[in-house]
């Protein structure tokens, strides 16, 4: 396995700086800007468990300084903890970009950290609940985002807020 590079030493001719993997299109939100074409259920051609773990192994060969698991909502994958653990075991630094849903708030953030999540990005798309929730098209996502941010910090997960 290739040594894990530090950000300043990455040669972009050899490997990506950050690798984003949209692990699913499934998501409970209906955000105006969604580039993943999110839908309530996984896409029929979504990678199965074995294929997903095999892809993690291939990504590890590239040794990007950071692997960001996104979607849709990565928490909609039943095997997300297996994917995180496999990536961590292969020497990858894992970040997670979930949707602020009840599913996320029922997740054990300490378990995410123990599996290897070092960083999480959450989105705030407005300064108020009204503007944010209108953009996300689902009520209560603003307050869920704030709660998830607190939970991430309490679990020792670095936090990035996207606006």
**Which residues lie below 8 Å from residue 43, measured CB to CB, with a gap of 6+?**
24, 25, 26
pTM of the model: 0.89
Q: Which of 101, 63, 45, 56 is nearest to 80 (CA)?
A: 56
Residues 71, 36: contact at Cβ < 8 Å?
A: yes
116 burial level (CB within 10 Å; 0-12, 13-18, 19+)? buried
pLDDT of residue 30: 74
Look up residue 140 and give its DSSP letter. T
User: How far, in Å, CA of 156 to CA of 119, rounded?
Assistant: 9
pLDDT of residue 1: 45
User: How far, in Å, CA of 2 to CA of 10, rounded?
Assistant: 13
pLDDT of residue 37: 66
Per-residue pLDDT of the chain (163 residues; tens, 9 = 90+): 445 555 566 676 777 778 999 999 999 887 767 665 677 788 899 999 999 999 999 999 999 989 999 998 999 999 999 999 999 999 999 999 999 999 999 999 999 999 999 999 999 988 999 999 988 888 999 999 999 999 999 999 999 999 8
């Amino acid at each position: 396995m290739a040594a894990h590079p530090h950000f300043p030493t990455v040669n972009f001719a050899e490997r990506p700086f950050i690798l984003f993997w949209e692990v699913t299109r499934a998501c409970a939100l209906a955000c105006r800007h969604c580039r993943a074409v999110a839908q309530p259920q996984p896409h029929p051609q979504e990678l199965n468990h074995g294929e997903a773990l095999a892809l993690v192994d291939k990504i590890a060969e590239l040794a990007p300084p950071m692997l960001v698991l996104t979607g849709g909502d990565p928490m909609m994958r039943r095997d997300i903890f297996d994917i995180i653990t496999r990536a961590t075991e292969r020497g990858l630094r894992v970040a997670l970009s979930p949707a602020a849903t009840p599913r996320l708030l029922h997740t054990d953030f300490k378990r995410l950290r123990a599996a290897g999540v070092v960083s999480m990005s959450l989105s705030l798309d407005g300064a108020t609940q009204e503007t944010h929730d209108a953009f996300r098209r689902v009520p209560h996502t603003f307050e869920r985002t704030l709660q998830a941010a607190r939970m991430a910090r309490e679990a020792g997960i670095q936090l990035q807020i996207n606006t």
